[in-house]
Amino acid sequence: MKDLFLIDENDRVDGVDKVTGKAKYFAEYQLPGLTYGVLVTSTITKGKITAIDSKAASNAPGVLAILSHLNKPSVPAYEQEGGAKLKIFYTDEIHFNGQPIALVVADTFERATYAATLVKVSYNEAIFNTNFEASVMDSQAKKLQGQPPYKRGIENAYKTADVQVEQVYTIPIETHNPMELHGIIADWKADDKLTVYAKTQGVKSTQNTLANTFKIPAENIQVNSEFVGGGFGMALRTWPLEIATVMASKQLKKPVKLVITRNQMFTMVGNRPAAYQKIGLGATKEGKITGISHTAFGQTSTYETFTEGVVGMTKFMYDSPNVNTNYYVVPLDMGVPIWMRGPGEATGAFALESAIDEMAYALNMDPLEFRVKNDPEKDLAQNKPFSSKNVKEAYALGAEKIGWTNRKQQPGSNGDGSWKIGYGVSVGVFNAGRGKASVKGVLNTDGRLLLQSAVSDIGPGTGTAMTLIASRLMGIRVEKITFELGDSSLPPAPSQGGSSTLSTVGSAVNDLCVALKKQITELAAKVNMEANAHFTEVLQKNNLPSIEITQQSQANPEAKNYAIYSFSIHFVQVKVHQLTGVVKVSKVVSVADSGKIISPKTARSQMVGGAVGGIGMALTEEAILDHRYGKYINNNFGDYHVPVHADVPEIETIFIDKPDPIINPMGAKGMGEIALIGFSAAVANAVFNATGKRVRSLPITPDKILEA
């Protein structure tokens, strides 16, 4: 089969388009009569608008409209009870600093930007609260149950263990900062027909949200999003700013484009919420875990409750007869958070994996040995066997590659001149899901195969993976296969998030190819041809220019009997400067146990990208608020620090590459989330091994290393 491929089968099918500029992102579409929107945002954090003076802005050159709650267009869903949590331009209430309160539309972007500065707003300001940590500590502050409490065995059993660890771990707010800013182009073709070009991780989700909001048939809404410049979770929902743009287009009967600014990215499209976590861990002197307690507090908004799976990993990752978890959220006067890069599991893993490392040192045991000793044979939380799990093999492979034998148990024992060297390890885990999806296939007599699905691709190489699945099953060279996506008129597929796209849509591609081969065999028999005759000859003999099949695929019913997860083991070497406290990640080995690897090149890119994000989470990323004003003070690329090339060493990836027998026909499990989950703990653990300084509050900055 390998000889069939005349080009490298691992190359990205859209790679050339992306690097040459042929790939078109939502903001690059130029529609006839296009107009431009710029948002006016609240300068207070909580209160009510008392007046909006838009006269000067209305009289500015090129201004076509100014939308606010004073002249709100009709939005059917907003006029009903319930509906959206934040009804943009439908209230005078301010819920957070930077909340959109008006939209200026003009014939050029520059004119809209200038006119927006002329809008003057008056307020009645109210007392507000944006201080998460103070709210956690305040017994009178409002807290909501984020998930039901979980208990297995005896609650707080760690308190009676031979060896105990009890610590608090915190992470700050982290914000989405992909290069591509968020926004949308909206174009009403008629009163009940709408076309949008959107930055979305799910064109069908966007289509359904707009249909429900404006009460028109979903099939009358066309959503286009072929290329997305980084989603990371922020594009998993349709934000109020997008609804405002659609409102403006309907009122003006013109297409309207809105692209928000970099500082607006901090307030309008969610973030990883801050978290405060307390872990209690108990073990025997021989190193067997006897009890784990994990209580977490996350951040949410006052107008909408957001929750995520912060304590989920704790319930099953280690073999303990006694586990109890609890999770609360604290409402603050801030924009609502959203899932971000490994969602709550990345948050929870930092605390759990740091505590596991602390227990290993309390026992004077190698942290890797301690993890292996407590690796479970089944998911004790669900009382189900794992569909597949090769974590112990992953431990061994990664340890050899990182040079774990060079690690010294005594912190601060390894050095290179003025630098201290340390090694850390951590585990990541995420549910390996599979949903329902449909794919259309058209097989032509010229030997080409067209595949179509409404799935989005936020960068992991979805088109490449789907093409490879089809190529290997059909025996068709990759350059003869086209995968069309990001179009709501194509067969339905779920949003791209939660590391489930390959499993879900790939299964539909697999099943489609099986169906096509079956039909070819039947057509061959019909004209007395050999069953192994090439499909082009079979179609020609049957006088058919093409055959077309749409195939739906969904999860295997047997899957409910298993716990299905992807796992990662992150090994990190760091160097810490003794005088300045500067931390450099000097070597990374990430091992993925995620079933069969369909596309090694794009799989490696996922793991490398996760490690880079993990370096940011561990060492640099922190959105800082001035609680006097409830406002971000580092809402730009200059002050919000993300890793640059100098921060990132060579990253080695290892794939176990063993098919999972349960999840799908390919045996492939998701990888995007596990690339990041747990990584920050590996860095923190390596810093401790290098210095003896345990940093339990991210990011790990030099001041935290140097403080007494």
Q: Which residues are catalytic?
A: 673
- Name the token pair of 289: 């875990």
Q: How far apart, in whole angstroms, are the C-alpha atoms of residue 337 and residue 327?
A: 16
* Alpha carbon distance 428, 163 (integer Å): 25
| 114 neighbors 60 (Cβ within 8 angstroms) | yes
Cα 260 to Cα 244: distance, rounded to the nearest angstrom: 12
- Residues 6 or more apart whose CB falls under 8 angstroms from that of 217 comprise 192, 211
The residues, any chain, with a CB within 8 Å of residue 511's CB and separated by 6 or more, are 551, 553, 665
DSSP state of 595: B
Cβ atoms of 669 and 594 within 8 Å: the answer is yes
Q: How many Cβ atoms from other residues are within 10 Å of residue 30's Cβ?
A: 9
Residue 65: closest CA among 20, 115, 130:
115
- Residue 27 DSSP code: G
The tokens describing 404, both together, are: 């774990």
Question: What residue has token string 């707009």?
Answer: 210
- How is residue 592 written in tokens? 């993925």
Instruction: Say how many Å lie between the first and final Cα of the chain, rounded.
Output: 62
Contact 227, 176 (CB under 8 A): no
Phi/psi for 586 (5° steps) reads -100, -20
Token pair in block for residue 53: 């003076």
Contact 700, 587 (CB under 8 A): no
Q: Which residues are CB-neighbours of 24 under 8 A, at least 6 positions away?
A: 226, 227
How far apart CA 322 and CA 317 sit, in angstroms, is 13
Of 485, 497, 482, 500, the C-alpha closest to 455 is 485
How far is CA 691 from each of CA 237, 356, 686, rounded to the nearest angstrom? 43, 18, 9
User: Which residues are registered as beta bridge partners of 174?
Assistant: 272
Could you give the 3-state DSSP secondary structure of residue 35? strand
| Paired strand residues for 572 | 424, 588
Asked, as a colleague might, if the bond just before 699 is cis with ω within 30 of 0, I would say: yes
Which amino acid, 511? D
Q: How far is residue 343 from each of residues 309, 313, 337, 497, 699, measured CA to CA in Å?
A: 7, 12, 11, 10, 17
Coil, strand or helix at 262: coil
Amino acid at 554: Q
DSSP code, position 74: P
**How far is it, in rounded angstroms, from Cα 197 to Cα 224?**
5
Q: Which structure tokens are listed for 170?
A: 């915190």
3-class secondary-structure state, position 455: coil
d(CA 653, CA 668): 17
* Environment class of 650 (CB within 10 Å of its CB; exposed 0-12, middle 13-18, buried 19+): exposed
